[in-house]
Amino acid sequence: MTGPFGFSWGTFAALLVVAGTVLLAIVWAIVTATRDDDDKGGGDE
Amino acid sequence: MSNMAVYTTVLTAYIVVLVAMGIWMGRRTRNAEDFYIGGRQIGPWVTAFSFVAAYFSSVVIIGGGAFGYRFGMSTLWVAASNVLIGCTLAWIVLGRRLWEFTKRLDTMTIPGFIGKRYGSREAEIFSAVIIFVFMIVYNVSVLVGMGRIMEGLMGIPYTTAVIVAGLIILIYVSIGGYLAVVWTSFVQAWIMLFGLFLLAFATLSRVGGLTAANIQLAAIDPGLVTTPGVWGWSGLMSYALIVSLGVWGMPQLLVRFYSMKSTRVLRLGVVLATLGGAMAILPYMTGAISRILLPTLEHPDLAIPKLAQLVLNPWGGAIFMAGVMAAGMSTFASVLIIVSGAITRDLRGNQEERKGKKRRPQSDRRDVMIGRVASLAAGLISLAIAYRPPGLVLVITAFAWAVIASACLWPVVLGVYWKRANSAGVFSSMIAGTVVALGWMIAGKPFGIHGFIPGVFISLVVLIVVSFMTPPPDAALISRAWGEGEV
């Protein structure tokens, strides 16, 4: 069965993983910033 | 203006900028910490994009394109694992801890970290030797990639191309050290990204878009658009893991974490590195599509250079070539600094520190000079081997990464997460991982599995088992590494 853009679904899933990873990075950055602000930590600057 | 004149103009302008940056940064390099880790003063943009540039060398562009050509769209999974495991998770899992540990232990190389974290000079020397030997092997593959692209696009002999590229890098690395490496890598990452987008856009336009490309590929062989397709699971999984999980043991990438000016760099850095890393999709995809436009290539490594020649005009081709050169140069330069550090810091050792003496200014100057000479020597050895290339670009890379990761990956990861990991465990793990990885590859990769997989697996098992069977590490050593008792 063919997925979007003529990819097989198994191959298209690789592109979804990339998109999901970008989302993960953004969420982690926000969570870390919030936690560091609460802790007043995060390394010396 | 002839094609050759266009290529020469673009390349010359690019090289002048790099050498100027090397000389400029050389003036800011005053001591060994500046030379090897930029004085721990690097911000998020430069850290992230120099990470991406060092990660995605000419190997990924030329070698990844070649794999795309041979195995089709399933290679997009290699790109996905590059982004998820090689970029994002590496930053999240290792970034903060490595920065903190190397700062507390006052070390600026991976062997140095291993030596101090585990209190083992043997482990430090062993990892430095492995890094020295196999990083040079890796550098050979990077040079071969650059030579192939200049040969394919400019029509100049491969050997001339390799010598020109190698000598330029040697000049700016030996003068400017790590600061030159990260700043040139930052610039190179943008040139590389632009070049890859240019090629992908021109290629897709030529074949009528992505859907049309997939339909045409499926007509050649349905296995070129499915996963695992013509490659098969063992080959796909092996390579995906080598070039993604392998990052976790690669000193030229890990150094980016402990050269940051603070752990706050990680927040923006992880997003930028992930976005930059996502470009790994492009060479695999364009390599796969090149099968439609270049169905009878004699050597898969020529897929991307020939494709660029076919679909880009001379100016576009010249910019793309600068991009691939940028990718190769940034990686080669990063590796040279690491190899130099392995010789001067880890194998030679810090004589004064060992004798308990206070460092003197002339020692700093001497260390920087020795670092420059060592990076020059390592580069010349790589050049000599690359003169007669021993195999496919990505195959050489995978070989070198497999051995380095088998020796260094778990000692680094468990070194910052598991207090019970001790010197006996880490030393036996390094030897077992190296022997198994090498042995597996010499045996011809049984079951189609690359030596990386058994090497890294055995290394993990041995480290855990031997650490449990032997006395725990010294409490003072652990306190210092974990920063316990600090105010």
Per-residue pLDDT band at B358 (split at 50, 70, 90): low
The burial of B325, by beta-carbon neighbours within 10 Å (0-12 exposed, 13-18 middle, 19 or more buried), is given as: buried
Could you tell me which residue, B480 or B448, shows the higher pLDDT?
Answer: B480
pTM, entire model: 0.87
> Which residues of chain A are within 8 Å of residue B68 when distances are taken between CB atoms?
none
Chain B residues near residue A18 by CB distance under 8 angstroms: 79-80, 83-84, 278, 281
* Chosen from B204, B270, B284 to mutate, greatest number of chain A CBs within 10 A: B270
The strand ranges marked E within chain A are: none
Q: In B, which residues are within 8 Å of A29 by CB distance? A: 266-268, 270-271
For B192-201, what is the mean pLDDT? Answer: 91
Predicted ipTM beyond 0.85: yes
Q: Where are the alpha helices (DSSP H) in B348-392?
A: 351-354, 361-386
Q: Does residue A42 carry a pLDDT above 50?
A: no
Nearest Cβ partner for B83 among A6, A18, A43: A18
pLDDT for res A43: 46
Torsion of CA B338, B171, B184, B144, to 10 degrees: -70
Distance CA B333, CA B231 (A): 32
With 50 as the cut, is the pLDDT of residue A45 above it? no
Chain-centre distance for alpha carbon B108: 17
Could you say which residues from 253 to 272 on chain B have a Cβ atom under 8 Å away from some Cβ of chain A?
A: 261-264, 266-268, 270-271
**pLDDT of B432-477, one tens digit each?**
999 999 999 888 888 878 888 999 999 999 999 999 999 999 999 9
Q: Please indicate whether residue B388 or residue B116 has the higher confidence score (pLDDT).
A: B116
Which comes out higher in pLDDT, residue B49 or B388? Answer: B49
Task: Confirm or reject contact between B211 and chain A (CB < 8 A).
Answer: yes
Chain B residues lying within 8 Å of A45, measured CB to CB: 261-262, 264
Q: What is the pLDDT of residue B297?
A: 87
Specify which of A5-9, B160-164, B383-387 reaches the highest per-range mean pLDDT: A5-9
Neighbours of A39 (CB within 10 A): 8
pLDDT at B487 > cutoff 60: no
**What's the CA angle centered on B91, arms B428 and B382, to 5 degrees?**
60
On whether any CB of chain A is under 8 Å from the CB of B100, the answer is: yes
CA B437 to chain centre: 19
- Residue whose token pair is 């598991």: B418
Percentage of chain B surpassing pLDDT 70? Answer: 94
Distance from C-alpha of B98 to C-alpha of B108, rounded to nearest angstrom: 11
pLDDT in tens, B80-107: 999 999 999 999 999 999 999 998 998 8
What pLDDT, on a 0 to 100 scale, did the predictor assign at position A40? Answer: 56
Q: What is the pLDDT of residue B485?
A: 65
Q: What's the pLDDT band for B351 if we cut at 50, 70, 90?
A: low
